[in-house]
Amino acid sequence: MKNKVLLGVMAACLMGSLQVQAKEWKSVRIGIEGAYPPFSWTEPSGEVKGFDVDMANALCEQMQVKCTIVKQDWDGIIPGLLAKKYDAIISTMDITPERKKRVDFSIKYQHVPARFATKKGTALELTDAFMTGKKVGVQRATSMDTYITDNFPSADIKRYGTAEEAYLDLKSGRIDYVLADYASLVDGLIKKEDGANYELVGPGLTDPRWFGEGAGVAIRKQDTELKAMFDKAILDIRANGKYKAVNDKYFDFDAYGE
């Protein structure tokens, strides 16, 4: 009887070891929003381009895997990962405690501060009294959304499916401010043909309580081998100059942050 029990235990252990055997990744599907320039945007042809796309391709090249970009609206981007529509998210997603309850993250690959943008000559004070009733546009379910909701609940918060929708409402006068990543505001608003009437106001916002540790590659919790591959690849392209080549194509500062 003891021998049968022992054999059963050994068989169970062997089966468990086979199940947790490391997966060999030869191709990786990357979910990207495609509506947050300069990090990502969608061409009329349907092709997704931008910093996140080039970063995804650089990381896949470093990992020696085939990279496939899958366009996904922001609202469904984590559910899409969990449903295995793709294997990772590289879409300027901040590493926050709330998101880490659902998915795992690589180390950061960029950390760009958030800023407010508004029509030139418009004051801004980050106080409850000042923000009461002010119309603030944010992209829904982002770190900016959480920051405004937690700190200024008396503000009139307008939530949008994309940052570009918020920029249009700012230009039309339907909102007073937009809060978004600094680089997105510069590229998607300030540098546009009709962007001369707008400016950035207030400090750069990086408090980890709302903006996390920077943006990382989101991965399903069980894909530990893939997380390790991305961690190593991020460090490698920082060291070998590939990160700088992508960075300098879009920014005149180091998007990696401090």
- Domain boundaries, given as residue ranges, for the chain: 23-111+213-250, 114-211
| CATH topology identical between 23-111+213-250 and 114-211 | yes
Strands (E), 175-239: 177-181, 198-205, 215-219
Which residues on neighbouring strands pair with residue 114, listed in sequence order? 181, 205
Neighbours of 211 (CB within 10 A): 24
Segment holding 51, helix H or strand E: helix 51-63
**Residue 9 banded pLDDT, cuts 50, 70, 90:** very low
Neighbours of 61 (CB within 10 A): 14
Rounded distance between C-alpha atoms, residue 27 and residue 33, angstroms: 20
Residue 95: φ, ψ to 5°: -85, 100
* C-alpha Rg value of the chain to the nearest Å: 21
On whether the CB atoms of residues 197 and 119 are closer than 8 A, the answer is: yes
> How far from each other are the two terminal CA atoms of the chain, in whole angstroms?
62
Rounded distance between C-alpha atoms, residue 13 and residue 185, angstroms: 54
Give the pLDDT mean for 204-214: 94
Rounded distance between C-alpha atoms, residue 35 and residue 163, angstroms: 7
Helix 242-250 / helix 51-63 crossing angle, nearest 10 deg? 170
With a cut of 70, say whether residue 221 has pLDDT above it. Answer: yes
Lowest average pLDDT, out of 2-16, 49-63, 215-229, 232-246, goes to 2-16
Q: In the predicted model, what is the mean pLDDT of the chain?
A: 92
Rounded distance between C-alpha atoms, residue 48 and residue 50, angstroms: 7
Q: Tokens standing for 256?
A: 């990696």
Q: Which CATH class is domain 114-211?
A: alpha beta
On whether the CB atoms of residues 122 and 173 are closer than 8 A, the answer is: no
Mind listing the pLDDT tens digit for each residue in 97-148? Answer: 999 999 999 999 999 999 999 999 999 999 999 999 999 999 999 999 999 9
With a cut of 50, say whether residue 4 has pLDDT above it. Answer: no
**Residue 21 banded pLDDT, cuts 50, 70, 90:** low
**Residue 22 banded pLDDT, cuts 50, 70, 90:** low
**pLDDT for position 84:** 98
**pLDDT for position 258:** 83
Residue entry with tokens 């590229």: 187
Rounded to two decimals, what is the model's pTM?
0.85
Mind listing the pLDDT tens digit for each residue in 136-182? Answer: 999 999 999 999 999 999 999 999 999 999 999 999 999 999 999 99
**What superfamily in CATH does domain 23-111+213-250 come from?**
Periplasmic binding protein-like II (3.40.190.10)
With a cut of 60, say whether residue 215 has pLDDT above it. Answer: yes
Mind listing the pLDDT tens digit for each residue in 175-206? Answer: 999 999 999 999 999 999 999 999 999 999 99
